[in-house]
Structure 1
Amino acid sequence: MTGVIFALSMILILVSVGSLFAWMVRLASVSKQSKPAIKVAKPLRI
């Protein structure tokens, strides 16, 4: 039963991190008009 709880918590952490990353990418693409030097494809290349 602890394995199921651990898997659920890991999925929740991954979803929250992924949504936060997508939000940051969206903010970067919105602020790209004022700062054209920042490329959105650079942080995606991990």
Structure 2
Amino acid sequence: MYAYLWRALPGPRPVKILLAVALLAAVFLTLMEVVFPWVAEQLPHTDVTV
């Protein structure tokens, strides 16, 4: 999968590295801003047992 992604990115190696970092940052920010808050709302926080 990573080899396919690396081959699919355009440009020479430095451009590919910058694009890969930008893609990783976009995935990370999407998870932190959209996905994880939605999942946190779905979890039952009132059912805490100690």
Q: What is the rounded CA distance, in whole Å, between the counterparts of 1:22 and 1:7 in structure 2?
A: 22
Match of 2:21 in 1: 11
Distance in 2, matches of 1:16 and 1:9, equals 10
TM-score by structure 2 length? 0.51
Please point out which of 21, 27, 30 is paired with 1:20: 30
Structure showing greater radius of gyration is 2
- Structure 1 residues without counterparts, runs of 5 or longer: 33-37, 40-46
The structure 1 segments of at least 4 consecutive aligned residues displaced by more than 6 Å after TM superposition are: none
Number of equivalences: 31
Q: Which runs of 5+ in 2 are unaligned?
A: 1-10, 44-50
- Which protein has greater RCO, CA pairs closer than 8 Å, 6+ apart? 1
Residue identity matched to 2:20: M
